[in-house]
Structures are given as C-alpha cells and as structure tokens.
C-alpha cells in the first residue's frame, strides 16, 4: 500500500527515537512491499528556534495531508523561559487534527516483572488499553481563579462522550471483547451522563461486548489488584490522565510505553509516552523501544496494517527477552544498537 507518514522529531531525544521509528517503517515497507512516503517537519522547541512558532503553519499543513503523524518528543530547559513554549505545539496540533481519544496500552512482559512495583504473579498476561477522552472535561472548562476561592467547570456533551465510546468499543472488538467504563457516577453529573450514554451506545451498537462499570476510586485499586482482568478501559479526561500513569507503572519502564491520539477522520498522532529526556539527549543512550512500539500503533491504528504491526512488536519483545536493549532496561546497547537489533529481526 501507499501511505504518507510525517515525522515530527522535536527536541531532546526526540530526533534519536524518531530515527528508530523511521528505520522501523523502512524495514516494514521493505519486508511487506509497501510504499511509505516519509517526510519530516519542525515541531516544538526546534520549530521555535527556526521559525518562532512551536507549530509552524507548514508543519500543520503537512500533517493534515498525511495518513499518519509520528512525534518524537518536545520541550526542554532551553525553552523554559521563552515566550512561546514547545508544549503549546502539541496542544495546538491535537486541537487542529481533532484528536479526542488518547490510547495508551499497558502490556507487561516477564523480562520487566522485577522492574514493576507490583507482585509478579499479578502481572502475568496484563494487556490493557486505556482510552482517555482528551479534549473535554474539567481541563478545558471555564475557570475562575482568585486568591480566596477558585473553581473549574467540568462539562461533557453526549456527542463528546459517544465518539470516544465508539473508539473504545471498536478497539475491544479487535481485542478480547471487554470494555470497562470508569466514572464517579455516585457524585458527578457528568459521570451520570457518561454512564447513561455508555448503556445506550453499547445496547444499540455493541451488545456482543462485555461491559463493566467501575467508580474511579475502585478502578484505581482494581488496576493494582487484578490488572489482568482489564481489556479496554474507557474514561473521561481527568480520570484518564491519572489512571494511564497508574497503568504505566504496571509495565515497569517508561521506555516501553507507546501512545496514539485519534480523531474521527484525518491522521492520528503517534508518540512515545516519555518526554524529551534532555539529560541523555545526543548520547546514544535513549531507549528506542517506546518509539518503535508507537510506530507499531501507527501501522495498526493509523494505516490498518495489523500483521505488520505485530511483526514489529514481536521484534521489539524478542530483543527485550534477549536483553538486546538499552541500559534503562538492563541491557548494554545504545540507541542505534538496540534499533539495529530490532531491524535484524524484521528483515
């Protein structure tokens, strides 16, 4: 197939891990006979330095024409005091592309059980996909900030809720067929709307799926006590922010966490969960696996290439098992060595 992929390397270790993702796309294209047209554009601090803007118009235009967008990482101390901030570019592109669903898988692996704070027997077969609503709720509501009092408004429309429920349900159908919806319906009006919409949407469109409701406080406990029982977990913005970090701790390493942000039409944005790690930038130390797993999410969810994504994921996990990895995962390889080890298993 033909596909246009835009790379936004960004700052810090962003360019190094983006290079690893690009190498993975090239290897997959070669093995499966695809024609990926891969281009690169400025984003974040690198874009501020070159153009004064964290998301230049030319970058946005290139992304809007793409089939999928890959982002390395943005930000760093260099821009801490600058008038425009690299992170503004990320918020702006999410908004411009209408990316309302943030997906973060948490998949455990025996090679990392020791690195997780959770007991090994509970980590077996954990494979969770958290679908977090990304553009609504309390983060984007009206705010009032005074010295003696303040408030934040949390609002959701049925439309905002339904579209992320559909994303979650479609994912569950391609996985193990279970959706857990997390809310605080005993206290919050928005949560009661989430619950009513979930019941209605699943009864009408997804009666085949197993549906579970959990209050967010219970969900926080159950993620630690019975993580293997979750398949897709769908929730609103604030709860999702907190629960994705909690689920990440199951995995045991920031270096193995990919993410995807999707909208209805148009390209999705795929990026590793880690930041720009300025402390190790430019030293061939960055773990490229989170970026390569994000590349796999791009293949599967962005381009519909499930088999190709599986080949890439298998290659990454085989390297982890063989300890062909960077120091943060207990290996001895640099960024380039670990990337080459994955590529060797694809080609």
Binding mask 289-308 for ligand ATP (x = CB under 6 A): -x------------------
Beta carbon nearer to ligand ATP, 18 or 167: 18
Q: Which of 3, 277, 338, 342 binds ligand ATP (CB under 6 A)?
A: 277
Does the annotation count 317 as an active-site position?
no
| Residue 326 near residue 284, CB atoms below 8 Å | no
Distance CA(32)–CA(347), nearest Å, equals 10
Radius of gyration for the chain, computed over Cα atoms and rounded to the nearest angstrom? 20
From residue 76 to residue 105, the character string flagging contacts with ligand ATP as x (rule: CB under 6 A) and all else as - is ------------------------------
Q: Is residue 112 a contact residue for ligand ATP (CB under 6 A)?
A: no
Of 101-109, 277-285, 298-306, 315-323, the segment contacting ligand ATP by CB under 6 A is 277-285
* Mutual angle of helices 86-96 and 57-64, in 10-degree steps: 40
What does the block give as tokens for 205? 């469109």
User: In sequence order, what are the beta bridge partners of 223?
Assistant: none
Q: How many residues bind ligand ATP (CB under 6 A)?
A: 14
Encoding tokens for residue 24? 């993975």
Cα–Cα distance for residue pair 293/152, rounded to 1 Å: 36
Q: Does 224 participate in binding ligand ATP (rule CB under 6 A)?
A: no
Question: Residue 138 annotated as binding?
Answer: no
40 CB-contact burial (10 Å; exposed 0-12 / middle 13-18 / buried 19+): middle
Please indicate if the annotation marks 195 as binding a ligand. Answer: no
Separation in Å, CA 287 to CA 64, 150, 320, 333: 29, 41, 11, 9
Neighbouring C-beta atoms of residue 189, cutoff 10 Å: 11
217 assigned to active site: yes
Q: Which stretch binds Mg ion (CB under 5 A): 136-144, 246-254, 268-276, 293-301?
A: 268-276
Stretch that binds ligand ATP, among 3-11, 49-57, 139-147, 284-292 (CB under 6 A): 284-292
127 is in an annotated binding site: no
Of 188 and 327, nearer to ligand ATP (C-beta) is 327
Out of 125, 217, 264, 332, pick the active-site residue: 217
Residue (of 274, 296, 290, 244) closest to 68 by Cα position:
296
Which residue among the candidates 184, 231, 313, 317 is catalytic per the annotation? 184
Q: Which of 216, 269, 214 is nearest to 96 (CA)?
A: 269
With CB under 6 A as the contact rule, which of the stretches 45-53, 128-136, 211-219, 273-281 interacts with ligand ATP?
Answer: 273-281
**Strand pairing class (232-235; 178-183):** parallel
For ligand ATP, the binding residues (CB under 6 A) are 13, 75, 254-255, 274-277, 279-280, 286-287, 290, 328
The residues assigned a catalytic role are 139, 184, 217, 241, 245
């Amino acid at each position: 197939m033909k596909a246009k992929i835009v790379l936004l390397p960004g700052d810090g270790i962003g360019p190094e891990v983006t290079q690893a993702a690009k190498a993975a796309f090239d290897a997959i294209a070669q093995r499966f006979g695809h024609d990926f047209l891969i281009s690169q554009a400025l984003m974040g601090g690198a874009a501020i330095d070159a153009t004064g803007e964290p998301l230049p118009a030319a970058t946005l235009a290139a992304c809007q024409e793409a089939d999928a967008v890959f982002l390395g990482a943005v930000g760093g101390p260099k821009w801490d005091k600058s008038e425009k901030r690299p992170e503004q570019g990320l918020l702006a592109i999410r908004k411009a592309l209408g990316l309302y669903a943030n997906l973060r898988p948490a998949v455990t692996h025996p090679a990392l059980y020791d690195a997780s704070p959770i007991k090994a027997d509970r980590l077996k077969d954990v494979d969770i996909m958290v679908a977090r609503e990304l553009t609504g709720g309390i983060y984007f509501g009206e705010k009032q900030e005074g010295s003696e009092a303040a408030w934040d408004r949390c609002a959701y429309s049925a439309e905002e809720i339904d579209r992320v429920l559909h994303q979650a349900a479609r994912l569950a159908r391609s996985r193990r067929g279970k959706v857990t919806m997390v809310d605080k319906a005993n206290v919050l009006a928005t949560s009661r709307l989430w619950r009513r919409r979930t019941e209605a949407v699943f009864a009408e469109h997804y009666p085949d799926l197993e549906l579970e409701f959990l209050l967010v406080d219970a969900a926080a406990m159950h993620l630690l006590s019975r993580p293997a029982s979750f398949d897709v977990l769908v929730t609103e913005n604030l709860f999702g922010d907190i629960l994705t970090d909690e689920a990440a701790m199951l995995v045991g390493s920031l270096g193995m966490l990919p993410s995807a942000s999707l909208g209805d039409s148009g390209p999705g944005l795929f990026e590793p969960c880690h930041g720009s790690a300025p402390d190790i930038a430019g030293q061939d130390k960055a773990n490229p696996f989170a970026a390569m797993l994000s590349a796999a999410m791009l293949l599967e969810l962005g381009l519909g290439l499930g088999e190709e994504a599986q080949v890439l994921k298998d290659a990454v996990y085989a390297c982890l098992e063989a300890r062909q990895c960077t120091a943060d995962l207990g290996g001895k390889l640099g960024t380039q060595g670990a990337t080459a080890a994955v590529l060797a298993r694809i080609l």
